[in-house]
Structures are given as structure tokens and as C-alpha cells.
């Protein structure tokens, strides 16, 4: 079957040695300490006495080649032609000399790349695909991120938070954006509308039935053709049926809302890692700038900023003050939808007389 003219791929996963900044290579595994001379700048010192300054700048992640070439030009000029990207799509320039820090920052900012995202700042939002590319999105990703970072621009450039703040957005309930201090995620509120004409051709029906977490889907004959039926009483509108069966339309301009979750934490520092928790929902999918979402995000951030103690992450802060006061301080309503009823829900109920007034 192989077409002879086709090139066979070379399968090999490269190491990163040749890409490392020379100082990184020389001091590999031998660093001693670091500090942050200013927001956006990390200063690492190795056991040999070597020093490097890393300057971090925000990007739009979804970059055109012109933007990338511009970033490369800057790297060639200041940073020995080496860069790295962080998990949050920030770019990092590595400098061997402190004297280059200020000029590099000036150059970046001149070109519209904000320097920051280090330490106790709000870093770039973890980003997904949305309308730009995904086949199942209820909203956009890049546009949501852009509108959020515009609002949080100063919080990116400064280190004024009690501890680092990590945000994510996700354009469907699958949550490719991941757990975060504050996460914005689509939350559907109506069961899928089924386009029965297409089901027979497009969907592997047993697979879809198996995919539903609450067993709300069953095979059915509709207009004499094999299709599917949803028990709307059972359906929790999660959208899990939609990827394997696109005729099960879950997205709706009106009824696909946005929910906000807080207190996700991946690091093991102090408390154990935790998942984020739902604290608001029902926000409109208001492209192109989602002001209602950003207002709530900002409100939560400001409450945290005002009240948390140094080093308390969002989750640690709420752990101390308690959920009743979280809702008080953020002026968000605690609704019945926030009371867990999924598997293991008993672990999330207050099984104690620890109560706050």
C-alpha cells in the first residue's frame, strides 16, 4: 500500500542539549539559589558562582510567523540567540550579563511584549483552541484570553498578589485548560438537540451511549431510522456525547454559559494539590470581550489580594477564611448547584460541626 514516492519519517525524540543557553549547559543541575530583582526578571546563581538573568515576557501564544521572527531578532540581539517558552506561553530570554536586562526590557515593551508574569503576579492564562480550531467549542479561547489579559495587564507586570495566581479558560466542559486558581469554563445548561437525520451515518451509536456519564442516552428509532434518544431528566448537559456524535448538538449561543471555578492548585507547597471548585455560573457567552466574566474574575482577585496572607495561594486563603466568607467577600451567591452530588460527594459535604458565623 505504501506509496513509494513518500518519505518514511525518522522517528527520534531529540535531546535539548544544543538548544540550551551556554550558561544553562555549563551549570546544568548545579544551581544554588535565585532572586527576583524586579517583576519579570529571575536571577539565578549557580554553585560555581555563575549567574544568569532570565527576562520573561507575555505573548499571544497563537503567534504569526512575523511575531516569532521579531522575538528571534530580539534574542539574537540580547540573548545569544537562545530563548525558552514557559508552560504558560511566556517567552524567556536568558542573559549572561545584568547590564543587558534593562535594554532588553525596553526593547520588548517597545514591541508590545509585556514583561512580568514572575513571582506573585498573575501569569498568562492557560489557553485552549476555541472557535479558532476546535471541533466542539462552546466559546472562543484566544479572544477570551486576550480580553482577560487586557484587564489583568497590570497584575501581570507587577508582583502585588499574596502568591502567584494561575488562570485558565476552557472552551468546553472537557477543560483542556486545566485546574487553576481561577478557571473559566463553558457550562451548558440544556440537553443536546439531536439532528436525527445524521446520527445513523456519523455516530458509532454504542460508543456514544457508553460515553455518557449518567447513562442518559439510549438507541432509538426515529422516523424509522436508527438514532438516539436522551433522557432529559437525567442529562447533566456535560457535552461528552458531542465529540463522538456531532449531531448531538450541545452548543447553544444562549444556553451555553460560562462558569467560574476557584482554588485549583497543582503544587504541593504547604497544602496538598486540590481541584478548582465552582463558585459562579450562568455568565453570558458575550463575545468579543466577555465583560461579565472578567468582572467576576477581577472581583475574586481583588478580594484575594486584599485579604490573603503572604504565600497563601487562592486555595490556602479560602481554607483559612472558609467558604461562607469567601462568598461574602466576593459578593457571589452560594447556589444549590455548588453542592456536590457526584460520585464521592459525601467527601465534599461538611461532616462536622465546624461552622462559621
Partner 1 sequence: MAKQPHATPMLDQLETGPWPSFVTGLKRLAKDKDYVVDLLGHLEHSYTTRKGYWKGGTVGVFGYGGGVIPRFTEIKNEKGEPTFKDAAEFHTIRIMPPPGMHYDTDTLRKFCDIWEKHGSGLIALHGQSGDIMLQGCTTENVQKAWDEINEMGFDMGGAGPAVRTAMSCVGAARCEQSCYDEAQAHQKIVNQFLDDIHRPALPYKFKFKFSGCGNDCMNAIQRADMAVIGTWRDNIKTDDALGKKWFAKHGMNELVNDVIGMCPTRALQIKDTKDVRKDAHVSAVALNDSQSLEIDNKDCVRCMHCLNVMTGALNVGNDKGATILVGGHSHLKIGATMGTVVVPFISLKKDEDYEQLVELAQTMIDFFAENALEHERTGEMIERIGLVNFLEGVGLEVDANMVTNPRMNPYVRTDGWDEEVAKINAKKKAAA
Structure letter (DSSP) for residue 286: -
Residues 254-313 binding partner 1 (CB under 8 A) are 255-257, 259, 263-264, 266-279, 281-282, 285, 287-289, 309-311
Question: Are 5 and 36 spatial neighbours (Cβ–Cβ below 8 Å)?
Answer: no
Site string for partner 1, 154-193 (x = CB under 8 A): -------------------xxxxxxx-----x-x-xx---
Applying CB under 8 A, among 273, 282, 291, 324 the residue interacting with a copy of itself is 273
In the complex, minimum distance from the CB of residue 144 to ligand SF4, in angstroms, rounded to a whole number: 10
Mark the segment that binds partner 1 (CB under 8 A) among 97-105, 208-216, 218-226, 298-306. Answer: 208-216
Quick one: 114 or 239, whose CB is closer to ligand SF4? 239
Residue 240 touches which member of ligand SRM, a copy of itself, ligand SF4, none, C-beta under 5-8 Å by kind? ligand SF4
Q: Measuring CA to CA, which residue among 74, 64, 66 is closest to residue 94?
A: 74
Torsion of CA 298, 303, 307, 308, to 10 degrees: -50
**Any idea what the Cα angle at residue 107 is, between residues 101 and 113, rounded to 5°?**
100
| 351 sits near a copy of itself (criterion: CB under 8 A) | yes
Residues 155-214 binding ligand SRM (CB under 6 A) are 163-164, 166, 174, 176, 178
Handedness of CA 343, 344, 346, 348 (dihedral sign): negative
Q: Measuring CA to CA, which residue among 170, 188, 189 is closest to residue 179?
A: 170
In the complex, minimum distance from the CB of residue 312 to partner 1, in angstroms, rounded to a whole number: 8
Handedness of CA 135, 140, 141, 143 (dihedral sign): positive
| 211 sits near partner 1 (criterion: CB under 8 A) | yes
| 346 sits near partner 1 (criterion: CB under 8 A) | yes
289: CB partners within 8 A, 6+ apart: 143, 147
| 40 sits near ligand SF4 (criterion: CB under 6 A) | no
| 217 sits near ligand SF4 (criterion: CB under 6 A) | yes
Amino acid at each position: 500500500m505504501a506509496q513509494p514516492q513518500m518519505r518514511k519519517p525518522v522517528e527520534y525524540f531529540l535531546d535539548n542539549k544544543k538548544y540550551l543557553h551556554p550558561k544553562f549547559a555549563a551549570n546544568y543541575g548545579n544551581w544554588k539559589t535565585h532572586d527576583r530583582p524586579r517583576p519579570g526578571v529571575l536571577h539565578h546563581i549557580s554553585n560555581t558562582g555563575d549567574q544568569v538573568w532570565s527576562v520573561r515576557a507575555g505573548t499571544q501564544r497563537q503567534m504569526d510567523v512575523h511575531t516569532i521572527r521579531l522575538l528571534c531578532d530580539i534574542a539574537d540581539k540580547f540573548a545569544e540567540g537562545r530563548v525558552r517558552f514557559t508552560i504558560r506561553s511566556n517567552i524567556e530570554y536568558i542573559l549572561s550579563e545584568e547590564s543587558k536586562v534593562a535594554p532588553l526590557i525596553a526593547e520588548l515593551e517597545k514591541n508590545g511584549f509585556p514583561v512580568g508574569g514572575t513571582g506573585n503576579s498573575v501569569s498568562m492564562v492557560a489557553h485552549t483552541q476555541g472557535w479558532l480550531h476546535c471541533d466542539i467549542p462552546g466559546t472562543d479561547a484566544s479572544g477570551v484570553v486576550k480580553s482577560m489579559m487586557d484587564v489583568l495587564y497590570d497584575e501581570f507586570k507587577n508582583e502585588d498578589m499574596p502568591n502567584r495566581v494561575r488562570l485558565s479558560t476552557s472552551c468546553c466542559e472537557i477543560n483542556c485548560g486545566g485546574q487553576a486558581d481561577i478557571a473559566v469554563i463553558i457550562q451548558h445548561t440544556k440537553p443536546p438537540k439531536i439532528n436525527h437525520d445524521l446520527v445513523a451515518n456519523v455516530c458509532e451509536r454504542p460508543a456514544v451511549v457508553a460515553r455518557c456519564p449518567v447513562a442518559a442516552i439510549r438507541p432509538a428509532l426515529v422516523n424509522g431510522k436508527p438514532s438516539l434518544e436522551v433522557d432529559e431528566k437525567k442529562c447533566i448537559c456535560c457535552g461528552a456525547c458531542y465529540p463522538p456524535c456531532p449531531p448531538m448538538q450541545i452548543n447553544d449561543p444562549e444556553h451555553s454559559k460560562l462558569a467560574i471555578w476557584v482554588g485549583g492548585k497543582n503544587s504541593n507547597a504547604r497544602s496538598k494539590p486540590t481541584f478548582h471548585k465552582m463558585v459562579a455560573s450562568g455568565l453570558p457567552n458575550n463575545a468579543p470581550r466577555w465583560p461579565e466574566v472578567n468582572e467576576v474574575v477581577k472581583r475574586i482577585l481583588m478580594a484575594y489580594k486584599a485579604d490573603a496572607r503572604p504565600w497563601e495561594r487562592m486555595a490556602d486563603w479560602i481554607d483559612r477564611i472558609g467558604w461562607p466568607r469567601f462568598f461574602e467577600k466576593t459578593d457571589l451567591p452560594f447556589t444549590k448547584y455548588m453542592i456536590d452530588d457526584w460520585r464521592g460527594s459525601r467527601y465534599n459535604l461538611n461532616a462536622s460541626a465546624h461552622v462559621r458565623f
